[in-house]
Amino acid sequence: MGIQVIPTTPFSDQKPGTSGLRKAVPVFQKPHYLENFIQAIFDTIGDPQGRPLVLGGDGRYFNAEAIQTILKMAAANGFSRVKVGQNGILSTPAASCVIRKYGAIGGIILSASHNPAGPQGDFGVKFNTANGGPAPEKVTNAIYERSCSLRQYTIYTAPDVSLHTLGEFPLGEMIVEVIDPVADYQALLESLFDFDCIHDAITGGRLSLIFDAMHAVTGPYAHQILETRLGAPRGTVQHGVPLPDFGGGHPDPNLVYAHDLVQQLFGDDPPVFGAASDGDGDRNMILGANCFVTPSDSLAILAANATLVPGYKEGLAGIARSMPTSQAADRVAATLGIDCYETPTGWKFFGNLLDAGKATLCGEESFGTGSNHVREKDGLWAVLFWLNILAIKQQSVADIVQSHWRTYGRNYYSRHDYEGIDSDRAHTLMTQLEQKLPQMVGQSFGAYTVAIADNFSYTDPVDHSVSTQQGLRLIFDDGSRIVYRLSGTGTQGSTLRVYLERFEPNPHHQHLDAQVALADLIELANQVANIQGLTGRDRPTVIT
Ligand code: G6P
Ligand code: ZN
């Protein structure tokens, strides 16, 4: 037993992406691979100054082994305390909550979000800073630079620490504190939402629900919060046992991957409410009986009803949405007389707005919703927000959505994904389209006249940093939009995302299928970018 210094050589591929370092499991299992990256993080943090480190993951394959390695390395690197979730479990939003609550120096979250898991699946390491949010680029760049010059790492040799029992256990000079992964997070949610009101609606039979944890991290959270605390019957939480391979599934809450749940909500005798979350618990999908709520509408509806919920009863400072997210939230912000910020895609762009108190609620079309209570998007938070609204309003989800449209108008919205296209062709498409944009301004295409055509760029209102080339936009004079982006998260070839949006103020025309309502724009989007000609695809692979 004792501290060992292990010589190593750098790996050249440890540059963290948008959500940390994400690789196939066998890559992380290479000798020294995980250790090198963890040492690079520790060297970048510097002296922990007695502040705890938070550690946990989504329970996927290799989670347990990685946690032991990281604990032993923390013990050898001068940490005095690591707060680790029982059995190595912490959802991404729960980790953010614990970091903030205990003034931690930061946290290491082991997850590859919704990517499939298992021996051949993906694994990931994310580092969050003291504000509870993902490390900003200057920190991840510093970690990467350190990883490129690393020659050794230190690790404490000792038997594995049992993480089954709550309590404090010594590891060398360090204390391993095994914490209940749910308790702090539940307390935070209880401070925001009216749990008694939701409890009464559920146990009084007025609010029936199903939650699909997709065999990923939210299982224990949902069992404890929805069933034990809020009184929903056993069986409300489906696929609630986290499995190392997520049961072979793809824990991404959308209409395609959460098909079991969708079938129940659109089947015979559906419950009032249904929801799902992803691998690490930060995404959400909201459904009602025979009703799917788009993430864009969900953000707008939460904002419009926020003052019904205790944690937001004083009103919102502002709303923020990513650029491709529909403008439904902007209409609510305008009515409330508050600002609506339009940021590039990626949760990290909300961090400054939240820290500066400029925005209270944030959302993205990619099934992410959250608020200033943590610095990550938060799946169960969105579920609780909806349950709180439903418990008070005692209406169906569909009624709430439709009455929202009657008041604010409906932003018909859809995303068409062309996955796995050849990267060169994808880039050619974007380049050719961008070159065409300037002369398109003022041109009319059927009912649509182009008002703005540009490549979106964002100046952060807090630190004034500029992010360019964040997506090609065609904005028409009636506010309709076509947006083109290449995905930043795909792994095979390129994924072209085309986002389509049209505003419909007339309540009599708000009940069309989105694909029908957007048919003209879809046709125009294909024509303008010559999608078929350049990609050889005559239809998208996924429509949401
Ligand atoms: C991750 C991020 C989200 C972002 C999404 C975009 O999930 O956490 O904040 O919206 O990626 O993915 P894309 O594939 O469209 O670049
Ligand atoms: Zn996630």
pLDDT tens, position by position, 443-478: 999 999 999 999 999 999 999 999 999 999 999 999
Extended beta strands in 427-535, E state:
444-445, 448-455, 458-459, 466-467, 472-476, 481-486, 494-504
CB of 497 closer than 6 A to ligand 1?
Answer: yes
- For residue 167, count other CB atoms closer than 10 A to its CB: 11
Sign of torsion over alpha carbons 322, 328, 329, 331 = positive
Q: Going from the N-terminus, what domains does the chain have, and what CATH number goes with each?
A: 2-180 (3.40.120.10), 185-408 (3.40.120.10), 410-543 (3.30.310.50)
Q: Which atom of ligand 1 is nearest to the CA of 347?
A: 9
Residue 49 pLDDT greater than 90, yes or no: no
Confidence of residue 245 (pLDDT cuts 50, 70, 90): very high
Which protein residue has the closest C-alpha to ligand 1 atom 2?
346
Please give the Cα distance from 484 to 491 (Å, whole number).
Answer: 19
Please tell me the number of the ligand nearest to residue 368's CA.
1
In this prediction, what percent of the chain has a pLDDT beyond 70?
100
The pLDDT score that the predictor gives to residue 490 is: 67
Cα of 376 to ligand 1 centre, how many Å?
Answer: 12
Q: Which atom of ligand 1 is nearest to the CA of 489?
A: 14
Provide the token pair at 177: 């504190």
Distance 340 CA to ligand 1 centre (A): 20
What are the structure tokens assigned to 373, written together? Answer: 């209570």
Does 346 sit in the ligand 1 pocket, CB within 6 Å?
yes
Which ligand lies nearest to the CA atom of residue 417 in the structure? 1
Judge whether residue 291 has pLDDT over 70: yes
Q: Which of 18, 115, 325 to mutate to test the pocket of ligand 1 (most atoms within 8 A of CB)?
A: 18
Predicted TM-score (pTM) of the model is 0.95
Is the CB of residue 416 less than 8 Å from the CB of residue 482?
no
> 275 - beta bridge partners?
211, 286
> In whole numbers, what is the pLDDT of the chain averaged over residues?
96
pLDDT reported for residue 157: 96
| Tens-digit pLDDT profile for residues 502-515 | 999 999 999 999 99
Residues belonging to the active site: 113
**Pocket-testing residue among 22, 364, 484, 497, ligand 1, by greatest number of atoms within 8 A of Cβ:** 364
What CA–CA distances, in Å, run from 109 to 368, 403, 488, 493?
18, 40, 20, 27
Distance, CA of 138 to CA of 521 (rounded, Å): 39
Does residue 25 register a pLDDT over 70?
A: yes
Amino acid 489: pLDDT: 75
